[in-house]
Amino acid sequence: MKSDITKKALEMSKEQKAISVAEFFEKNRHLLGYNTLQKALLTIVREGVDNSLDACEHAGILPDIFVQVEDLGDNIYKVTIEDNGPGIKKENVPYVFGKLLFGSKFMKLAQTRGQQGIGISGAVLYSQLTTGKPTKIYSKIGDGNVHIFELGINIEKNEPDVLYHETLPGNGHGVRLEIYAKGKYVRGKQSIEEYLKQTAIMNPHAQITFIDPDGNEIIYERVIETLPSLPKEIKPHPYGIELGYLMRLLSRTKSKSLLSFLMKEFSRVGEKTAKEILARASLSPDDAPSSLTRIEAERLLNAMQSISIPAPPTDCLSPVGEEAIKEGLKKELTPEFVVAISRKPKVYRGFPFLVEVGIAYGGNIQLEVAKIYRYANKVPLLYEQGACALTKAFQEVDWKRYGIKQSSNGFPEAPMIVSINFASVWVPYTSESKEAISHYEEIIKEVKLALQDAARSLQRYLSKVHKAKASQERKSKFIRYIGEIATSLSILTSKPKEEIEKNLNLLVAKFVKDYSKEIAEMQDKDYREHIMSDKDEVSKEKKEDLEITLESNKESKDVEFEIESLIDDIKVKISQKKLSDYGEKQ
Amino acid sequence: MTSIFKDSKDEKEIIKELERIGNELLEQIENQDNPYLEIPERSLGNVYFDKETGLIKLGDKKQRRYYFNIAQAKKFMQTLAVMSKIKWLLEEDKPSLSIRQLYYLLKHTISGFKENTFDTQDETDPIVEDVEVMLDVLRENLRLIATPNGVLAGDMIVEDKTGDILDFTKMGSAGGAIPPIVEDNYFKIKEINADYVLVIEKFAVWNVLNQQKFWKKNNCIILTGKGQPARAERRLIHRLAYEFNLPVYVFTDMDPWGYYIYSVYKQGSINLAFFSEKAGTPKAKFLGFQTKDVKEFDMPPSSFIKMKDIDYKRIKELRNYEWFNNTAWQNELKALEKFGNKIEQDALVSKSIEFTADVYLPTKIENKDFLP
């Protein structure tokens, strides 16, 4: 016999289920990027363009992307996004666009753009909720056909709702998407145009064409003809996971035993380490992963994070590269000087990451206070600038040391735009809205080092410019008095004035340094000085990695004894390293 | 006895020297060197007290003024402008000019630019001094003059450059003016009948003595530079002292400022150290007023002026000057400091109007009661 309460509960859960997806969407608009009309339109473009860029790069195709926003009146817009990517096979199209969280990258650790928002299906759902219209998709995978779909989402079942499908002959490959949505088109910062411009800077290998609602065409030219290296997928590092994540891994794994689970699912865990973890967690190596209780899982996590494990591999990251960043800045901003710095990968909490910065100075940039362009895996972050670790690092740099005035909030007072790209397999956003990066000390330190390095180059350039200016003034002053001097000397010596004047003019070039050539070279080339030899750099890097391993261990739990032994361990490693260095030299 | 100091160059030599410097510059320019002028430094760091001659002199330090040096370029141009203008003044036999007139003569807009060769007289004055030390001549020899204030009276006949004959016994109560140039070719002393030269700091005191015909009664020349003397007064006293072998006695206020004026007549000044050899008079003696005179001549306290901080500070400075570094003067300065009061030479009238002429000066001179 069911109690009243049970009956009620069952009824409620039925209702809950029926409205789950729509309600989830409605209640979490602010987290998903659809909380304002202005942001909704941007989010749609962003989801589409990010997908296109990722797809092209994975297929080894130089991206060629077309974006159009048309104003249909009454705050309704038609957004068209078309790419030359590999296309999506007919069977998958309904799921990619018509099912929320399909093929989620959630369990994947790779440096991809697609960590933003809920994905393109979110855009389809938003379109459906605000206009009632289906989304139209054209997909070509190079088989001579174009598959055309009109679809929506069955909200109750979270399943694609295909309203129309047709296959016609068509050449080439790629995807074209037409979405109708309620929105508001704006200009200036946090606009679609700004997003595309910033995207073009950090993705100079992409060609993007944009047609705004007034019919203006803007082309963001491709200036780099090579694709960035493809980021590799890696397994999570034991230091970087949380309990919920571990539990999901435990329930999904194909491994039959805990020992093989640890060895297969994590990076840097071999048999010896796995056994050590299990011994510390008092778990049997033969237990089935799915049999673990919450408490056992917690014990396993603690054990994993209290044992000395080398930092994860860092070759999974794909930097944009200093040259590409400089080209991107040059073409979009036409500055007088650019410099870019790509740092080597580092690790925070078991996640590899790398920082790249670019500074564009002067020229067409006419700002009194510098601007900062923030990127996570090459995707511009347009909101929540003040909450972001990248901004904090930017403000903490002592710009005055590099001859640049600094306002009270730490922003440099100079005509410059500073781009900072944070690349990682896992971006630690401050919140679900994914617009700002958390204040991890390791991250802030790296960004500052990169900015300081770039600022030094800028300073060298500015000092040259300053010298050139002074030199020019000097020259004009020297030339100015030549006539007077020649007159006086002619009176003193009775020699012709003209000849004295001629000889003096010839002397000017000898005593005034001409900087124009040097400056021209600096504008094209970055005079980055590698003070440390490569060898020193490597050993320093290693040491830093170890320190970071140590740091992240400190953060985790109650393992003071273990940390002490770890420190000893590291000390031994470092001194061994030193010994071997000497050994090589002798 | 003639001057113990070197004679001045004549104008032809000066012109030659200017030509030589000009040609040296042309050579530097042709050799593609950075052209420069070598100028003896006139800073305090290059001034020393020469005990042997008793004069403040310029040291050997020289500075180079380059054209291709942004801080010096304009000064280089200005120096050449002054030099060439001087050559022109001499060659064309132009009348002597004041340095202010020279400034106006040199000032013009540089053709093609919105800049003047000179903007203020402050720019020409130091350059004139540079040229003086470079050529080792006085500006008077360069047909440039500073405006003197001094006057004198006494039994002396002078032939002026104009040909006029000046009799300094017949100059009235205001006395005869000392001209800007007192060199022999401008101010020829034909006759002189005096036992000594009495230099008086202030005109007011000099004027009373003149009205009383002190010079006649005491057979001397009385002269005042009206406070801090200009060049001409110093140069004339030098000539009287060495060309005519007259003793020189200096009479000033009893305060550090008066004492310093005495030292300028005697040893020369820091600013014009290069001029000391031609205008210093090391054999001059200090007559008064001095601290021991206060008691000896029974000066009433009403004539005392209490010294201020600035006076004490000046005493300290004087005590540190090498040329005041002798027992007599160190004692005098200490005594003044201790006494704490100043006495102006004018204050002697508080004894009586005739006191200075009839009692004080004759007593001091008769007793040879001087400070060195």
- Note the Cα A11 to chain centre separation in Å: 46
Q: Coil, strand or helix: which one is A420?
A: strand
Distance CA A397, CA A154 (A): 51
Residues A203 and A252 in one domain: no
Closest approach of A363 to chain B, Cα-based (Å): 29
Residues 6+ apart with CB under 8 A from B350: B299, B300, B302, B303
Predicted confidence at residue A430, as pLDDT, reads: 87
Closest approach of B18 to chain A, Cα-based (Å): 6
Q: Coil, strand or helix: which one is A261?
A: helix
Helix (H) or strand (E) holding A77: strand A76-82
pLDDT averaged over every residue in chain A: 83
User: A153 and A205 in contact (C-beta within 8 Å)?
Assistant: no
Token pair listed for A133: 């219209």
Q: Pick B22's closest partner by Cβ from A481, A493, A504.
A: A493
Chain B stretch 302-361, residues whose beta carbon is closer than 8 A to a beta carbon of chain A? none
Give the chain A residue whose CA is nearest to the CA of B112. Answer: A480
Pairing outcome for strands B97-98 and B144-145: parallel
Q: Is residue A40 predicted with pLDDT exceeding 80?
A: yes
φ, ψ of residue A154 in degrees (nearest 5): -75, 105
Residues A67 and A121 in one domain: yes
Predicted confidence at residue A21, as pLDDT, reads: 65
User: A418 and A373 in contact (C-beta within 8 Å)?
Assistant: yes
Question: Average pLDDT in the B72-88 region?
Answer: 95
Q: Coil, strand or helix: which one is A354?
A: strand
B58 touches chain A (CB under 8 A): no
Q: Is residue A75 predicted with pLDDT exceeding 60?
A: yes
Residues A216 and A252 in one domain: no
Question: Average pLDDT in the A529-540 region?
Answer: 37
Q: How confident is the model at residue A9 (pLDDT cuts 50, 70, 90)?
A: low
Residues A138 and A167 in one domain: yes
User: A437 and A422 in contact (C-beta within 8 Å)?
Assistant: yes
Closest approach of B33 to chain A, Cα-based (Å): 8
Predicted confidence at residue B27, as pLDDT, reads: 95
Query: Residue B149 carries which side chain, given as an amino acid letter?
Result: N
Distance CA A345, CA A7 (A): 56
A447: closest CA among A389, A400, A517?
A: A389
Spell out the SS3 assignment of B185-230. CCEEEEEECCCEEEEECCHHHHHHHHHCCHHHHHCEEEEECCCCCC
Residues A193 and A128 in one domain: yes
CATH 1.10.10.10 fits B11-145, yes or no: yes
Predicted confidence at residue A11, as pLDDT, reads: 67
Q: How confident is the model at residue B3 (pLDDT cuts 50, 70, 90)?
A: very low
Q: Pick A484's closest partner by Cβ from B22, B87, B110.
A: B110
A172: closest CA among A40, A64, A311?
A: A64
Q: What is the pLDDT of residues A151-194, one digit of tens each?
A: 998 887 788 899 999 999 989 999 999 999 999 999 988 999 99
Residues A132 and A248 in one domain: no
Predicted confidence at residue A2, as pLDDT, reads: 55
- In chain B, the percentage of residues whose pLDDT exceeds 70 is 98
Q: Coil, strand or helix: which one is B251?
A: strand
Distance CA A316, CA B5 (A): 92
Give the chain A residue whose CA is nearest to the CA of B107. Answer: A484
Burial status of residue A277 (CB atoms within 10 A of its CB: 0-12, 13-18, 19 or more): buried
The residue among A220, A255, A285 that closes a domain is: A220
Closest approach of B138 to chain A, Cα-based (Å): 19
CA atoms within 13 A on the CB side of A115: 28
Question: Average pLDDT in the B311-329 region?
Answer: 94
Q: Pick B113's closest partner by Cβ from A480, A485, A507.
A: A480
Token pair listed for A537: 């750099």
Give the chain B residue whose CA is nearest to the CA of A508. Answer: B68
Q: CA gyration radius for chain A?
A: 30
The residue among A258, A287, A305 that closes a domain is: A305
Please report residues of A whose CB lies closer than 8 A to that of B112: 480, 483
User: B15 and B90 in contact (C-beta within 8 Å)?
Assistant: yes
Q: Coil, strand or helix: which one is B111?
A: coil
For residue A82, give the CATH number of its domain.
3.30.565.10
Is B186 a residue of the active site?
A: no
Please report residues of A whose CB lies closer than 8 A to that of B117: 484
Instruction: Please give the ipTM for the structure prediction.
Output: 0.76
Q: Pick A489's closest partner by Cβ from B80, B110, B117.
A: B80
Q: Is residue B65 predicted with pLDDT exceeding 90?
A: yes
- Note the Cα A63 to chain centre separation in Å: 18
A158: closest CA among A216, A94, A237?
A: A94
Number of CB atoms found within 10 A of residue B152's CB: 27
Contact A474 B88 (CB under 8 A): no
Chain B stretch 154-173, residues whose beta carbon is closer than 8 A to a beta carbon of chain A? none
Token pair listed for A455: 């600022």
Predicted confidence at residue A108, as pLDDT, reads: 59
Residues 6+ apart with CB under 8 A from B69: B34, B76
Residues 6+ apart with CB under 8 A from A542: A577
**Residue A250 in domain:** yes
Please report residues of B whose CB lies closer than 8 A to that of A500: 26, 29
Closest approach of B38 to chain A, Cα-based (Å): 16
Test the A interface: residue of B15, B26, B94 with most A CBs within 10 Å: B26
Q: What is the pTM assigned to this prediction? A: 0.62
Contact B76 A481 (CB under 8 A): yes
Render the burial of B270-308: b for 16+ CB within 10 Å, e for the rest.
Answer: eebbbbbbbbbbbebbbbbbbbebbeebebeeebbeebe
User: A300 and A283 in contact (C-beta within 8 Å)?
Assistant: yes
Contact B88 A478 (CB under 8 A): no
Residues A63 and A209 in one domain: yes
Q: Which listed residue (B36, B48, B67, B104) is catalytic?
A: B104
Q: What is the pLDDT of residues A43-60, one digit of tens each?
A: 999 999 999 999 999 899
Distance CA B18, CA B83 (A): 7
Q: Is residue B48 predicted with pLDDT exceeding 70?
A: yes
Question: Average pLDDT in the A240-266 region?
Answer: 88
Render the burial of A65-91: b for 16+ CB within 10 Å, e for the rest.
Answer: bbbbbbeeeeebbbbbbbbbbbbbeee
**Residue A469 in domain:** no
Contact B73 A511 (CB under 8 A): no
Q: Is residue A570 predicted with pLDDT exceeding 60?
A: no
Please report residues of B whose CB lies closer than 8 A to that of A473: 70
Q: What is the pLDDT of residues A488-497, one digit of tens each?
A: 999 999 999 9
Q: What is the pLDDT of residues B230-253, one digit of tens each?
A: 889 999 999 999 999 999 999 999
Task: Say how many CB pairs under 8 Å bridge A and B.
Answer: 77
φ, ψ of residue A532 in degrees (nearest 5): -85, 145
Residues A58 and A167 in one domain: yes
Query: Residue B101 carries which side chain, given as an amino acid letter?
Result: Q
Predicted confidence at residue B263, as pLDDT, reads: 95
Predicted confidence at residue A510, as pLDDT, reads: 84
**Residue A363 in domain:** no
Give the chain A residue whose CA is nearest to the CA of B77. Answer: A485
Domain ranges of chain B: 11-145, 151-366
Q: Pick A503's closest partner by Cβ from B21, B30, B34.
A: B30
Give the chain A residue whose CA is nearest to the CA of B89. Answer: A491
Q: Coil, strand or helix: which one is A210?
A: strand
Q: What is the pLDDT of residues B13-47, one digit of tens each?
A: 999 999 999 999 999 999 999 999 999 988 878 88
B80 touches chain A (CB under 8 A): yes
Please report residues of B whose CB lies closer than 8 A to that of A487: 84
Question: Average pLDDT in the B153-178 region?
Answer: 93
Residues A212 and A262 in one domain: no
Spell out the SS3 assignment of A31-76. HHCCCCHHHHHHHHHHHHHHHHHHHHHHHCCCCEEEEEEEECCCCE
**Residue A7 in domain:** no
Quickly tell me which residue has 């989801």 as its tokens: A47
For residue A273, give the CATH number of its domain.
1.10.8.50
Token pair listed for B190: 């034909």
Contact A484 B81 (CB under 8 A): yes
A381: closest CA among A429, A422, A435?
A: A435
B32 touches chain A (CB under 8 A): yes
Residues A172 and A277 in one domain: no
Token pair listed for A21: 């997806």
Helix (H) or strand (E) holding A357: strand A351-361
Contact B68 A511 (CB under 8 A): yes
pLDDT averaged over every residue in chain B: 91
Closest approach of B106 to chain A, Cα-based (Å): 11
- Give the single-character DSSP code of A520: H
Give the chain B residue whose CA is nearest to the CA of A482. Answer: B77
Q: How confident is the model at residue A576 (pLDDT cuts 50, 70, 90)?
A: very low
Residues of A with CB under 8 A from a CB of B: 473-474, 477-478, 480-481, 483-485, 487-489, 491-495, 500, 503-504, 506-508, 510-512
Residues A123 and A186 in one domain: yes
Contact A493 B111 (CB under 8 A): no
Predicted confidence at residue A342, as pLDDT, reads: 94
Instruction: Give the lowest-confidence range in A466-480, A539-553, B145-159.
Output: A539-553
Q: Which fold has domain B151-366?
A: Dna Topoisomerase Vi A Subunit; Chain: A, domain 2 (3.40.1360)
Closest approach of B91 to chain A, Cα-based (Å): 11
Predicted confidence at residue B8, as pLDDT, reads: 58
Determine the structural domain holding residue A301 and report its residue range: 238-305
- Note the Cα B171 to chain centre separation in Å: 23
Test the B interface: residue of A481, A511, A513 with most B CBs within 10 Å: A481
Spell out the SS3 assignment of B33-91. CCCEEEEECCCHHHEEEECCCCEEEECCCEEEEECCCCCCHHHHHHHHHHHHHHHHHHH
Give the chain A residue whose CA is nearest to the CA of B114. Answer: A480
Burial status of residue A541 (CB atoms within 10 A of its CB: 0-12, 13-18, 19 or more): middle
CA-to-CA dists, residue A122 to A40, A377, B159, B179, angstroms: 10, 21, 115, 104
Residues 6+ apart with CB under 8 A from B336: B254, B255, B256, B291, B315
Domain count, chain A: 3
**Residue A346 in domain:** no
The residue among A256, A286, A305 that closes a domain is: A305
Please report residues of A whose CB lies closer than 8 A to that of B19: 492-494
- In chain A, the percentage of residues whose pLDDT exceeds 70 is 84
Quickly tell me which residue has 């003595």 as its tokens: B209
Q: What is the pLDDT of residues A222-247, one digit of tens each?
A: 999 999 888 888 888 888 888 888 88
Quickly tell me which residue has 């790629």 as its tokens: A174
Closest approach of B132 to chain A, Cα-based (Å): 16
Closest approach of A509 to chain B, Cα-based (Å): 11
Residues 6+ apart with CB under 8 A from B67: A478, A481, A485, A504, B34, B35, B36, B73, B76, B77
Q: What is the pLDDT of residues A267-313, one digit of tens each?
A: 889 999 999 999 999 999 998 998 888 999 999 999 998 888 888 88
- Give the single-character DSSP code of A437: B
Contact B74 A488 (CB under 8 A): no
- Note the Cα A122 to chain centre separation in Å: 22
- Evaluate whether B11-145 and B151-366 have a shared fold: no
**Residue A130 in domain:** yes
User: A69 and A212 in contact (C-beta within 8 Å)?
Assistant: yes
Residues A82 and A166 in one domain: yes
Please report residues of B whose CB lies closer than 8 A to that of A485: 67, 76-77, 80
